[in-house]
Every structure is written in structure tokens, then in C-alpha cells.
Amino acid sequence: MPTLPDGSIRVEHVWKKFRSDKTVPLFYEQMVRLRRSVGTRGKSGYRWVLKDVNFDVQPGESMALIGVNGSGKTTLLKILSQVTFQSAGSCTVQGRIGALLSVTSGLHPDLSGRENVFLYGAVLGMGRADIRRKFDTIVEFAELTDAIDRQVKFYSMGMQMRLGFSIAAFLEPDVLLVDEVLAVGDANFQQKCLQRIGEIVREGTTLLYVSHDLASVEASCDRAVWLSDSMVRAQGPTAEVVTMYRTAVEQHSALLTTKEGTVEVLKAELRATDGGQLRSECEAEVRLTLKAPEEVMAGFYLGISQGTAFPMFVIDHQTTMPAGEFEVVCKLGYLPLPKGHYSLWTAITGHPRGTKDPYLPWQPLLSFEAFGPDRMDPPEGVMALSPVYVGAQWQIH
Amino acid sequence: MADLLPTPYELEVPDLSLIPDEPPAAILYQHKVKMRTAVRTLWDHREIIYTLAERDFRAQYKQATLGVMWAVLSPVATLVIFVAVFSRVKQFPTQGIPYALYAFVGIMCWNFFASSLGNGGNSLLSNKALLAKTQFPRECFPLETMLVNALNTVISFIPLALLFVIFGRAPALATVWVPLFMLIEVLFAAGLTLAVSSTIIQMRDLQQVLPIIISLGIFVTPVIWPFSFIPTNFHLFGGTHLAHHWVGGITVNLQVVYGLLNPLGPVIASIRQTMLLGQAPSWAPLIAAVVGACGYLFFGYRIFKRFEVNFADIA
């Protein structure tokens, strides 16, 4: 077999099973295991958390793993970093692996920040001399110059996280595996982390990135693999895979709307006022036909999202809601969306943050395509949170 | 230059219905680790062992007012109790050696062994967080714990020296052999600790049983009694003694058998013989101890490597 160049990852038909979540006493299970190992082999209590996963990553590429909780992302990273082993298939990572599976698990609470830099650095695979050389950079990056001789148990959560990430950020591996570690930490530090990850990738490190934060995935990865129910559902360019993922999440979350409101939606429609396609910057209107049991004061909410329950923007209007069947028309003077797939959400409540149940709980009504220019890319290392399109004229004098 | 250009990525949507329920048997993963590779990898990661040991050693005394002083103070305290108690109780024959000194040598060896097994056996569980998140060889955890205990044992040479002074004696010249005997103990302890730590993860019952076994062990091992209590020729299978002729049966040197099973016995005996009495060690049990210790280490390491495949999954 030809050896792969440093920094490449090859995953071929990887399967992983975990023991099933039975609650029988372990003793019983041991007896069963014993009997099975003596007698014939039978199928027993386990479940597959990864099924036939295949992908390749070339040196210097950055790839994201996305998927809902429990879809096997972390397990895959653990197999790649050899923390655990696959049950079947083969998986090769060439070169030095830097695995950042958790930011703070390597820190010892009783030791000082300084001692922890050396400890965690060594645990992650850095040599002592190496750490000594980078010590000042690490501490400065973590913004902990004043607190470095304090015991880590007296650090705040954010400080611990900053220390952990900073140590890992200066590892210089061939392959960097990052698992959802930016979730803590304030906005400033998150920004700094993303920038640092961008820098690492530019220096030629292969990146495999797991995150639920799709904006940061789009900001830092060329490719994405979508894991769902332990299988690869799609892989390819980040934007396309992320769109597929969002659509699936949206369909799922529509099913999750459990509470029934008292208001019924009979018809919902979103169209361009001139009757044409929905385009960026066009004038659009939302038409809802609703049926309400009684006349009350109510707030109407409309939001547009990219597949999740979190909208990019919300429009609201407080008014009297008539009883019986009625139509609501909302004119949007300007559709601030780049090309893409979106969904329209709505809710009707009695009070803005009411104590009563809403008349109509927040739910997606319809999804639509918007045509127009592609979303503009932010500079490297910057997350664009909402894909909002703003037409602009540039002049350079 | 063509391969330097970024490859255009195609969107691939695999057909999920083609994925079977179970992986084909041909690709099932076999966890086979060659011993030589394992040892080499471990050697490459030796710095991690030092660092983790340093972590534990520092953390142990971190918030104590007296700090690292305790490393010396606690064995001295043990010593005081020793001298006080053992000068009053019924004593075993010690060939003229003060009993406190005689027993302290045994206790020192035993403490290293017991704490290695006790802490090292649980080391994988107590380092769960690291075990599930980092990738270096798992042997580092039990071995690191042993290193800390070794350090504590070396420190307990200070009260040992004090004992020599108190009783107005000097260690014999043959003491130079002691590190070698200690090495046998280290090999034995490492083998057993590796086996126990990897088994504890699979079967937590052992975690409860281990302290019981350890507290029994101190009586089974010649810690407070002399090794010479074990007969050198023991008649198996009803051999009868008729006017200096053996009739039937087999004669067994039980010390050798004991040394194979529990290398700690000959180790303690040899340290006493050399350091306290200035004699040569009895070779037969000692060689048995070497063989036994190497066997424990070999099989302990094998067991560990065999079990390590699912440490991170069930820890």
C-alpha cells in the first residue's frame, strides 16, 4: 500500500459499535458473555454508532463534520485520534495528530496555570523544550499573564477554556482535530480562536472540525461531511452540504412543534409583489389566512430563517385579532436575502413575553427559494452570522 | 503542478439502502499490537510519564502548609510508630538485627508494592477525563502512578538511614546490590499493576476486592516475618523420612515456588541479607523471583494491550 503524504486522512468503511443501553445488571451480562464465548456466537446487545463511513481528506484541506447530537461525530474523531478503535474498517491518519476533543479535561485543578501549560502541552504531544519556547505566546494568547501562577481551580470557566485552547492552538500538528470546543468563551475569544484556526490551516495543517455552529463551519471549512443516524448522508462543498443539513433539520423541527395553538393557519403564501420570482431586494408580501376563536389583542410575528428555529430577522405587529376567518397581509419593502433556501416562521401571542400559551406557537409555515446574487463571503476567520444581502454601490476615489 | 490546484469537490449523496446491517466479516477490526512496537511507542512517550508523575507529586502537596516536607515527614512518622510498637511486641527471630530495622525494610518494599497496585490499579479510572480525550499510550497512567510511588519510596530511605543511626549500625557493603533487587520488585509491580488496572475497567468488582487482597497480602508476604519460615525442602506426595532415605514423593524447594509466584518474598529477603547482614542472597529463590517478575510483566502487559481496545468506550 502506498503511504499517504503527511497530513492526509483516509477513512474506509469504518464501523463502530457500542454496547447497548440495557439496564440489566452487569453480572448477568458477564454471564451471557461467558456463555457466548464458550458456546456459539449469537447476536447480542450492541448498537452501531458508525456505519460504513468513507471519506478522504488531502493534506491542507479543511473539512467539517456536521450532524445532530448523537450522530457519531465525536466518536469518529475519537477513532481518528486513536483514543478509541473502530470495530471494522480501516482508518489512516498520516503525520502528527493534534486532537482537541475537549478543552479543559487535561487541566489539573490543583496546579497553577503555569504548571498546567506544561502538563497539558505534554499530554497533547508537545515536547518540554517546545512548550518552553512557546510559553509566552501561549500565555499572551490566553490573556492570562496576570493569573498564570494562580491555581486553575480558582479560574473562571472561560479562563480555563482560554488556557486549554491556547495550549492546543500552538501544537503545530499535521492534522488538527477540533471537537466543538469554541462553544464556551466570550465572543471576542471565539473570534480570536477562529482566526487562529484559519492561520493554522493557512500554514498547511489539515483540519477536521466538528461544530453545531454552522456559521463557523462555513467560515473555516472547504468541505463538509454530514453524519446522520450513524451514516454519511452527504459530503461535498460546505455550502451545499450545510443547505441539505439545514433543510433536514427544518423538516424535523416542524414535526417537533408539539403545542397546538388556538389559531388555525388555513393558508400561507410568500410571493414577490410584482408576481415574479422572489429575488434579492425585491418587494414581497406574506399572505396568511387564519381562523381565530375570539377577538383579542395579539402580537403577530414573522421571521425568516435558514432552516433552524433561530430566525435571521423578525418582524412584529401588535393589533386586534378578529374572530373567525381573516387574512393578514404583510408587505416587505425589501427582501434582504442572498440566493438560497429559506423558511418562513410565524407566531401569534397575547403578550410579547407572555405568561399564557401563545395563540399560535412559533413554527415554520413554508420554505422558499430566493434568487439573486450569492451570499458575499466575509474575510477569513470572520463568521457571518446571518446571510443578509444588502445591495451596495461602491466607489473608490 | 496539477495536483496543487484545489480539487473541485463534488456533492456526494451515498445510497443509504446499500449499507448492510452488519459490516462484512472481512473488514472486522483486529486489535493486534506487537510487543516491540508497543514498547517503542511507550518509550517515545516517556516524557508524558514524567510530566504526569510530576503533576501528581505536585498536586499531592499543593495546598499543604508544609508542602513537600510531608514527603519526608510521613515516613518519619511511620518510623516513630514502628520503633515504639515493635520494641514491645513479640518478635520474630531476626539474626540479631533490631526488629524495627528488620521490619522497616519489609514495610518499605511492601508500601511501594501496595501503593503501586492500589493507586496504579485505579489509575485508569481516576484519569478518566484524560483517557477519553487524549491519545498517548494508556500504559502511561499506571506507570506514572508507579513513578510517583517510587519517588516516595526513595524518600523513605531517609528514615531508614535514621534507623541505622538510632541503632548504631551501618549498612553492609553488599547494599550496592539493593537497587537490583528493587528493580525486580518494580518489574513485578508493573506487571501486576498493568493487569489489574486494565481488568478493573472491564470489571469494577475488582475495585472493591483489590483493597481486601492488598491488606491480606501483607501477611502472605514476608514483610514482618522472615522469609526463612518457608521450608526449602518440602515433601510432596507423602514422601516419608526413613533413616535419611527418601521413599517415594518429590522434594520441592518451596522458596523457589514462592519466589515464582510472589517475587516480593525473595526481594525482601535478599535486601535484608545484603543490607542488614552483609551476606550473599540465596540465589535459587532470587532467580525464581527474576523469572516470576519477568513473567508477570510480560503477561500483564499483554493483558493490558488486549483490553485497551475499549478503554475509552467504557471507562
Structure confidence by residue, pLDDT tens digits, A294-304: 888 888 888 88
Containing B238, the helix (H) or strand (E) segment is none
Chain B: give the shortest CA distance to residue A192, in Å: 23
Q: Is residue A43 part of a domain?
A: no
Alpha carbon of A281: minimum distance to chain B alpha carbons (Å): 29
Question: Is the pLDDT assigned to residue A255 strictly greater than 80?
Answer: no
Evaluate if residue A271 carries a pLDDT over 70: yes
Contact flag B55-A234 (C-beta cutoff 8 Å): no
Q: d(Cα A124, Cα A121) in Å, to the nearest integer?
A: 5
- Of the candidates A57, A59, A58, which has an alpha carbon nearest to the alpha carbon of residue A77? A57
Give the angle B139-B261-B172 at the CA atoms, nearest 5°. 90
- pLDDT tens-digit series, residues A15-69: 988 876 554 556 666 676 666 655 444 445 678 888 889 888 888 888 999 988 8
d(CA B173, CA B169): 12
Burial class (CB in 10 A: 0-12, 13-18, 19+), B237: exposed
- pLDDT computed for residue B209 by the predictor: 92
Which one of B10, B59, B313 has the shortest CB-CB distance to A108?
B59
Under the banding of pLDDT at 50, 70 and 90, the label for residue B1 is very low
Pick from B96, B146, B98: nearest CA to B121: B146
Residue B156 makes CB contacts below 8 A (sequence gap 6+) with: B75, B78, B108, B111
Residue type, B225: W
Distance from CA of A189 to the nearest CA of B (A): 23
Q: Taking CB atoms and an 8 Å limit, are B9 and A222 in contact across chains?
A: yes
Q: B73: how many CB neighbours lie within 10 A of its CB?
A: 14
Window 5-44 of A: residues touching B by CB (8 A cutoff) are 13, 15, 18-19, 26, 30
Short-list A329, A347, A338, CA closest to A271: A329
Q: Cell triple for residue A270?
A: 410568500
CA distance A277 to chain B (A): 26
Indicate the pLDDT class of residue A351, thresholds 50, 70 and 90.
low
Cell of A167: 495550549
CA–CA separation, A48 vs A52, rounded Å? 10
Distance CA(A50)–CA(A75), nearest Å, equals: 8
Q: Which residues of B touch A (CB under 8 A)?
A: 6-7, 9-14, 16, 19-20, 23-24, 27-29, 31, 47-48, 51-52, 54-55, 58-59, 62-63, 129-130, 132-136, 203-204, 309-314
| Max CA distance (Å), chain A | 85
Contact B51 A81 (CB under 8 A): no
pLDDT reading at A86 higher than 50: yes
At B112, the amino acid letter reads F
Flag the least confident range among A10-24, A68-82, A129-143, A220-234.
A10-24
What pLDDT, on the 0 to 100 scale, is given for residue A349?
A: 84
The answer to whether residue A205 sits within a structural domain is: no
Distance CA B282, CA B296 (A): 21
Does the distance separating the beta carbons of B11 and A123 come in below 8 Å?
no
Per CB-CB distance under 8 Å, the chain B contacts of A49 are none
Percent share of chain B, pLDDT over 90: 29
SS3 A55: strand
Instruction: Give the number of A-B residue pairs with CB atoms closer than 8 Å.
Output: 124
Q: Which residue has the cell 495546598?
A: B63
DSSP state of A279: B
Residue B116: the pLDDT is: 93
Rounded CA separation A397/A394 (Å): 10
More confident of the two residues A221 and A46? A221
Over residues A205-231, the mean pLDDT reads 86
Higher pLDDT, A385 or B298: B298
Residue-wise pLDDT tens digits, B5-29: 455 678 888 888 888 888 888 888 8
Mean pLDDT of chain B: 84
Of A183, A207, A212, nearest in space to A197 by CA? A207
> Chain A residue with minimal CA distance to B137?
A83
Residue A16 and residue A10 in contact, taking contact as beta carbons nearer than 8 Å: no
Is A326 within the bounds of a domain?
yes
CATH number of the domain that A334 lies in?
Answer: 2.70.50.60
Residue A36 belongs to some domain of the structure: no
Q: Which residue has the higher pLDDT, B315 or A197?
A: A197
d(CA A56, CA A10): 5
Residue B265 binned pLDDT confidence (cut-offs 50, 70, 90) = very high
Using a CB–CB cutoff of 8 Å, tell me whether A382 touches chain B: no
pLDDT mean over B153-176 = 86
Q: Answer yes or no: is pLDDT of A330 > 80.
A: yes
B292: confidence class by pLDDT, cuts 50, 70, 90: very high
* The A360-370 sheet, strands edge to edge: A313-321, A296-305, A340-349, A360-370
User: What pLDDT, on a 0 to 100 scale, did the predictor assign at position A40?
Assistant: 44
CA dist A379 and A220 (Å) reads 11
Q: How far is A123 from chain B (nearest CA, A)?
A: 6
Domain assignment present for residue A129? The answer is no
The 3-class secondary structure across A186-235, one letter per residue, is CHHHHHHHHHHHHHHHHCCCEEEEECCCHHHHHHHCCEEEEEECCEEEEE
Determine the average pLDDT of the residues in B290-301: 95
Mean pLDDT of chain A: 81
Q: Residue A7: in which H helix or E strand, if any?
A: none
Q: Is the pLDDT of residue B267 over 90?
A: yes
Residue B209 corresponds to which amino acid?
Answer: V
- C-alpha to C-alpha distance for B79 and B101, rounded to whole angstroms: 9
CA distance A166 to A227: 29
The residues, ordered by sequence, that sit 6+ positions from B70 with a Cβ below 8 Å of its Cβ are B61, B64
Say how far apart CA B310 and CA B122 lie, in whole Å: 16
What domain range is A357 assigned to?
259-370
Is B13 within 8 Å of A110 when comparing Cβ atoms?
A: no
Residue B172 and residue B276: Cα distance in Å, rounded?
A: 6
Q: According to the model, what pLDDT value does residue A42 have?
A: 44
pLDDT of residue B148: 92
Question: What per-residue confidence (pLDDT) applies to A4?
Answer: 77
CA distance linking residue B179 with residue B190, whole number of Å:
16
> pLDDT tens for residues A180-217?
776 666 778 888 888 888 888 888 889 898 888 787 88
Between CA A40 and CA A31 the distance in angstroms is 14
Question: Which position has the higher pLDDT, A122 or A354?
Answer: A122
Q: Is the pLDDT at B279 greater than 90, yes or no?
A: no
CA distance A113 to A105: 14
Please say if the pLDDT value at position B270 is more than 60.
yes
Distance from C-alpha of A55 to C-alpha of A18, rounded to nearest angstrom: 22
For residue A349, being part of any structural domain is answered with yes
- pLDDT for residue A346: 87
What is the Cβ-side half-sphere exposure of residue B262, based on CA atoms within 13 angstroms?
A: 20
Task: Please report the pLDDT score of residue A41 as a whole number.
Answer: 45
Residues 187-206 of A with CB under 8 A from B: none
With a cut of 90, say whether residue B293 has pLDDT above it: yes
Q: For residues B307 and B124, what is the distance between their CA atoms, to the nearest angstrom?
A: 12
Closest C-alpha among A92, A239, A237, A242 to residue A175:
A92
Report ipTM for this prediction: 0.76
Is A52 a member of any domain?
no
Is position A311 within any domain? yes
Query: How many structural domains does chain A have?
Result: 1
The answer to whether A110 faces chain B, any CB pair under 8 Å, is yes
Helix, strand, coil proportions of chain A in percent (round to 5)? Answer: 25, 35, 40
Residues in chain B, total: 315
Report the C-alpha gap between B132 and A83 in whole angstroms. 6
Q: Write down the pLDDT at residue B313.
A: 81
User: Which cell numbers in the block locate residue A96?
Assistant: 502528527
How far CA A103 is from CA of A185, A352, B258, in Å, comes to 11, 39, 49
Q: Is the pLDDT of residue B98 over 50?
A: yes
Closest residue of B to A61, CA-based? B6
Q: What is the pLDDT of residue A299?
A: 85
% of residues, chain A, pLDDT over 90: 2
| Residue written as grid cell 377577538 | A295
